[in-house]
């Protein structure tokens, strides 16, 4: 599997696939072309960064059906739909399924490049956010239930005295728990702690 962001093109028209490969050359990204939705599904790996340029009307599994299959498998790859047969209903369904846009054939190469560039950037930021959330989950998972109680009270803006009253503890005991949890999650300030919680929830 390549870690380099790849432009995947799924279109049963091989000539279109070859033409779309020039988009990758202009963007400096590798392009992999597939003439059927199933052939793409057979090789695509969850961790492969990139975006998908997908034709709607194909023999066998259609582009919309591939979009549904990706969603059902929780595969998050930005999709740029292309079609020579789009109507309002299809466009709405494609966008509802998460497509970033739908381009009608024939389209200008520059127009495609703009959308592919955006799709690659969306994939990059989305992967970074998911990795950040996973890191936050791992750090917060190290807390004990009692430390978690203190964390929840810190997040709600309580002072040490208010936390002590709420938990039936001394202020010193709250300070000790607070210091332990801050060390465990490697947070130097309440602001860092809040950012950690926000990353987990985003």
CATH code of the domain in which 166 resides:
1.10.10.10
Amino acid 201: pLDDT: 62
User: How many domains in the chain?
Assistant: 2
**Per the domain annotation, does 178 fall within a domain?**
yes
Specify whether 21 is located in the same domain as 109: yes
Same domain, 153 and 90: no
Q: Are residues 159 and 188 in the same domain?
A: yes
User: Residue 149: which domain range?
Assistant: 143-199
Q: What is the pLDDT of residues 59-81, one digit of tens each?
A: 899 999 999 999 999 999 999 99
Domain boundary among 69, 99, 130: 130
pLDDT at 2: 53
Same-domain check for residues 105 and 37: yes
Q: Evaluate whether residue 155 is within a structural domain.
A: yes
User: Do 100 and 161 belong to one domain?
Assistant: no
Whole-model pTM? 0.77
Residues 34 and 85 placed together within one structural domain of the fold: yes
Q: Which segments in the chain show pLDDT lower than 70?
A: 1-2, 201-202
- In our burial notation (b when 16+ CB lie closer than 10 A, e otherwise), range 163-200 reads bbeebebeeebbeebbeebbebbebeeeeebeebbebb
Structure tokens at 156: 């709600």
Shared-domain flag, residues 11 and 62? yes
- Number of neighbours of residue 104 by Cβ within 10 angstroms: 12
In a domain, 26, yes or no: yes
């Amino acid at each position: 599997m390549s870690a380099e962001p790849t432009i995947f093109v799924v279109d049963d028209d091989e000539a279109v696939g070859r033409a779309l490969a020039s988009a990758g050359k202009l963007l400096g990204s590798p392009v992999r072309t597939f003439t059927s939705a199933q052939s793409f599904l057979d090789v695509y790996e969850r961790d492969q960064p990139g975006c998908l340029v997908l034709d709607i009307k194909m023999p066998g599994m259609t582009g919309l059906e591939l979009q549904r299959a990706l969603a059902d498998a929780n595969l998050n790859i930005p999709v740029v739909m292309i079609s020579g047969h789009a109507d309002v209903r299809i466009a709405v369904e494609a966008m509802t399924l998460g497509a970033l846009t739908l381009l009608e054939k024939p389209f200008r190469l520059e127009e495609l490049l703009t959308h592919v560039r955006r799709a690659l950037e969306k994939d990059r930021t989305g992967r970074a956010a998911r990795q950040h959330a996973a890191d936050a989950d791992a750090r917060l998972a190290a807390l004990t239930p009692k430390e978690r109680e203190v964390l929840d009270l810190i997040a709600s803006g309580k002072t040490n005295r208010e936390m002590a009253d709420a938990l039936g503890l001394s202020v010193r005991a709250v300070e000790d728990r607070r210091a332990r949890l801050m060390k465990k999650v490697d947070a130097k300030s309440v602001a860092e702690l809040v950012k950690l919680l926000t990353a987990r929830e985003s």
